[in-house]
Chains A and B, each alone.
Chain A
Amino acid sequence: MKLVTAIIKPFKLDDVKDALSDVAIAGMTVSEVRGFGRQRGHTEVYRGAEYKVDFVPKVRIEVITDDAAAVRVAEAIVDAARTGQIGDGKVWVSPLEGVTRIRTGEMGDDAI
């Protein structure tokens, strides 16, 4: 089993969700996060006083897949989230040791 994690631009969430639906994932979790990469932050001006905002808003997506689907899911996210501009984000895949569905107690691939 794999955990596919992606950090994307917030306004790309709908596109990514639709793309993931097309590759038939079983579920996804999203959260609003802040951070910086090569894009760094941005500046804001209030009554002439300029502030540097180091952390910019992003959306983190987490999807659990079986081993076979992981690459397909990651590629779907990359295709849907790309604008070509700096700050598009990242996708990474990590191995999972175990998954349990809380309601039924099913484990492993059955719990995905």
Chain B
Amino acid sequence: MTPGLAFFYGGMVRAKNVLGMLMQNFFSMGLVSVLWALVAFGLAFGKDHGGLIGGFDIVGLKGMFNGKVPALETLTVPALAFCAFQLMFAIITPALITGATADRMKFSGWAVFLGLWSLLVYAPIAHWVFSPAGWLFKRGALDFAGGTVVHINAGIAALAVILVLGKRRGWPNEAMPPHNLPWTLLGAGILWFGWFGFNAGSALGANSLAAQAFMNTHLAAAAAMCGWLIVERVKDGHATTLGGASGLVAGLVAITPCAGFVGGVAPLIIGAAAGAICFLAIQLKFRFGYDDSLDVVAVHLIGGIVGSLLLGFFADNGINPAGADGVFLGGGSSLLLKQLLAVGSTLTYSFIVSWILAKGIDMTIGLRCSETDELQGLDLSQHAESGYSFGELGSMGRIA
């Protein structure tokens, strides 16, 4: 998933920033994996402390071979399989933020933010929602594969960070078009494929629930692509490739919390709604003047909210006995209110802590690169490399 995200984003930035974008994403696979094994998995799924956070009882994956995940005594897959599976969520969630902060973040600032955010924001929220001991889980809020934990969490954190970071120089008047839309489509395709693992895998077994989640995931992406393209064609005159890729991702985001709790044509409705709404939500950044470079707020925050709340309407207890019935299946507004609570608490906690982290880093080691570095591009200024070198007129001699 994360390499797919890297190319989805990488194609959308200007050529001088392509490596910077790929690197911020790939580095999440490095740092977050290390932290996960050391402490983060325990903070998310270790012994519960007040429903708010796990503990340090499984530091360094102690006792995980043939052991039990403290928070999930009834787990039917090996503890380490669950640990590795959940790690992929932990990696991609902070990586989603890089789309909003594109083209202007210092690599060192990102590295520190990434580590701290994984421990202080991701791990607690994963505990609240995914761990049976978590306070939102116990209240009955539903999130099959990360609508709140992954998408709303990353989306609102992205907004907090760009409010600290400020706009790219020249935005919104200067043109900053994608440099390689084929990369973006390739990345979207990898994301689409990887998402089957996320959502169907969240059934934690090869069973009919996994098949339902698989189908729901695919149908929502398909309907969202159609929804986005129809609105785009009517409003702007063309159905674009970037619109198709963005639409399908919006559908995948929205179906994530719902994947194992809905059935029938619900994924088509949820997907189409997400495609149309997320397309319209892109205008928010121009209206309110925040530079969400690659529309993380519009696609992940808004898409995540659409999915998490629509689940309150479409949830079907017949699909998953661990779920509930939503408004349209005679369950009343009980589930919808729980979903609102989960959305609201994720928004509040993630925004506040992410903003404090970003501000703290900005005031100490610095979060944003210098004007010269930004104009030169992240590839050269942050990594001393060029994304594309065709060996034409450039003269390159080895120094040492």
Q: Which residues of B contact A46 (CB under 8 A)?
A: 177-178, 240, 242
Q: How large is the interface on B (under 10, 10 to 19, 20 to 34, 35 or more residues)?
A: 10 to 19
Residues of chain B from 300 to 346 with CB closer than 8 A to chain A in the complex: none
A48:B177 contact, CB within 8 angstroms: no
Q: In the complex, A47→B175 CA distance in Å?
A: 13
Q: Which residues of A contact B172 (CB under 8 A)?
A: 49
Residues of chain B from 163 to 193 with CB closer than 8 A to chain A in the complex: 172, 175, 177-178
The smallest beta-carbon distance between B239 and chain A, in angstroms, is 11
Q: Contacts A45-B236, A45-B238, A46-B240 given; indicate if A51 touches B177 (C-beta within 8 A).
A: yes
B242:A47 contact, CB within 8 angstroms: yes
Interface string of B264-302 (1 = CB under 8 A from A): 000000000000000100110000000000010000000
Residues of chain A from 4 to 50 with CB closer than 8 A to chain B in the complex: 44-50
Q: Which residues of B contact A50 (CB under 8 A)?
A: 236
Q: In the complex, A46→B240 CA distance in Å?
A: 8
Interface residue from A44, A48, A52 paired with B283 (Cβ < 8 Å): A48
Question: Is B237 part of the contact surface with A, judged by Cβ < 8 Å?
Answer: yes
Q: In the complex, A57→B258 CA distance in Å?
A: 47
The smallest beta-carbon distance between A57 and chain B, in angstroms, is 15
B236:A48 contact, CB within 8 angstroms: yes
Q: Which residues of A contact B238 (CB under 8 A)?
A: 45
Q: Which residues of B contact A47 (CB under 8 A)?
A: 240, 242-243, 246, 279, 282, 295
Q: In the complex, A44→B241 CA distance in Å?
A: 12
The smallest beta-carbon distance between B187 and chain A, in angstroms, is 15
Question: Is B398 part of the contact surface with A, judged by Cβ < 8 Å?
Answer: no
Residue of chain A at shortest CB distance from B12:
A46
The smallest beta-carbon distance between B103 and chain A, in angstroms, is 15
Q: In the complex, A45→B295 CA distance in Å?
A: 15
Q: In the complex, A45→B235 CA distance in Å?
A: 11
Q: Which residues of B contact A44 (CB under 8 A)?
A: 177
Q: Which residues of B contact A52 (CB under 8 A)?
A: 175
Q: Which residues of A contact B240 (CB under 8 A)?
A: 45-47
Residue of chain A at shortest CB distance from B298:
A47
Q: In the complex, A50→B177 CA distance in Å?
A: 10
A48:B178 contact, CB within 8 angstroms: no
Residue of chain A at shortest CB distance from B232:
A48
The smallest beta-carbon distance between A67 and chain B, in angstroms, is 33
Q: In the complex, A46→B279 CA distance in Å?
A: 11
Q: Which residues of A contact B243 (CB under 8 A)?
A: 47
Q: Which residues of A contact B177 (CB under 8 A)?
A: 44, 46, 51
Residues of chain A from 49 to 92 with CB closer than 8 A to chain B in the complex: 49-52
Q: Which residues of A contact B279 (CB under 8 A)?
A: 47-48
Interface string of B237-270 (1 = CB under 8 A from A): 1101011001000000000000000000000000
B175:A45 contact, CB within 8 angstroms: no
The smallest beta-carbon distance between B383 and chain A, in angstroms, is 26
The smallest beta-carbon distance between A31 and chain B, in angstroms, is 12
Q: In the complex, A52→B177 CA distance in Å?
A: 11
Pairs across A and B, CB under 8 Å, 22 listed: A44-B177, A45-B236, A45-B237, A45-B238, A45-B240, A46-B178, A46-B240, A46-B242, A47-B242, A47-B243, A47-B246, A47-B279, A47-B282, A47-B295, A48-B232, A48-B236, A48-B279, A48-B282, A49-B172, A50-B236, A51-B175, A51-B177
List residues of B whose CB falls within 8 A of some A CB: 172, 175, 177-178, 232, 235-238, 240, 242-243, 246, 279, 282-283, 295
Q: A45-B240, A47-B279, A48-B232 are in contact. List 9 more A-B contacts (CB 8 A).
A: A44-B177, A45-B236, A45-B237, A47-B243, A48-B282, A48-B283, A51-B175, A51-B177, A52-B175
| 10 closest Cβ pairs, A-B complex | A51-B175, A45-B236, A47-B282, A46-B177, A48-B282, A46-B242, A51-B177, A48-B236, A47-B242, A46-B178
